[in-house]
């Protein structure tokens, strides 16, 4: 078996995007890092979504979505609000002020430099994830701010974990992907990060 270094895989660059979907009436939003342009003519994009996300189900159901391209000014609150809770339990757009594109879906009017609307044409099953291929139906530039990269988010947006021992005998693990902290006697081997859905191996003991 060939050597596959996990760290080598982390060298791939990604952006961060808010993905807006709908169940037909209620809208949902989540944060994804995997949006790419597939073809220029016609304009097609791809997005891969973890099946643990409610958005994956909605994309298969209704097939329309918006991608808001997040910028470096996007505060951690946006990632928290849209990335770390499930739309199954909560209306994530409740109470906020959002803009609407021609397809009727919301997008982020701030901390976003472009919004791309698309319609799913193919959904390919890859086990844990579904790869959606979609045709772009509308695309507009919103600002000249720089798009945020996943690396920028990790270094400048995500709060730094506090490396200190918790009260009592409890130990603390932090998710290296999203910053979620797990406290307890142990970190179960089959533990799944409730925020980003990464497994126990992406956690590190901090105290």
> What is the contact surface with Fe ion in residues (CB under 5 A)?
175, 177-178, 180, 193, 195-196, 198
Q: Which is nearer to Fe ion, 134 or 177 (CB)?
A: 177
Q: Which is nearer to Fe ion, 132 or 173 (CB)?
A: 173
Q: Distance between CA atoms of 130 and 124, rounded to whole angstroms? A: 6
Closest distance to Fe ion from the beta carbon of 6 (Å): 15
Within a 10 A sphere around the Cβ of 157, how many other Cβ atoms?
18
**Secondary structure (3-state) at 177:** coil
Half-sphere exposure of 184 (CA within 13 A, CB side): 7
Do 201 and 173 touch, CB atoms closer than 8 A? no
Residue 6 sits at φ, ψ, to 5 deg, of -60, -40
Q: Distance between CA atoms of 135 and 99, rounded to whole angstroms? A: 21
Q: Which is nearer to Fe ion, 44 or 129 (CB)?
A: 129
Q: Which is nearer to Fe ion, 43 or 176 (CB)?
A: 176
């Amino acid at each position: 078996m060939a050597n596959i270094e996990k760290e080598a895989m982390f060298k791939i660059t990604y952006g961060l995007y808010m993905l807006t979907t709908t169940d037909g009436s209620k809208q949902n939003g989540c944060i994804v890092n995997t949006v790419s342009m597939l073809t220029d003519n016609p304009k097609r994009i791809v997005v891969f979504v973890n099946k643990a996300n409610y958005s994956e189900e909605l994309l298969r159901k209704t097939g329309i979505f918006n991608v808001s391209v997040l910028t470096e000014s996007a505060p951690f609150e946006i990632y928290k609000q849209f990335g770390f809770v499930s739309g199954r339990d909560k209306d994530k757009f409740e109470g906020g002020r959002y803009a609407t594109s021609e397809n009727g879906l919301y997008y982020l009017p701030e901390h976003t430099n472009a919004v791309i609307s698309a319609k799913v044409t193919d959904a390919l099953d890859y086990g844990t994830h579904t790869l959606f291929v979609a045709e772009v139906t509308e695309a507009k530039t919103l600002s000249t701010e720089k798009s945020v990269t996943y690396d920028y988010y990790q270094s400048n947006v995500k709060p730094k974990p506090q490396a200190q021992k918790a009260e009592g005998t409890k130990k603390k693990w932090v998710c290296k992907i999203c910053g979620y902290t797990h406290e307890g006697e142990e970190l179960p081997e089959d533990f799944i990060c409730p925020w980003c859905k990464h497994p126990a191996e992406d956690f590190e003991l901090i105290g």
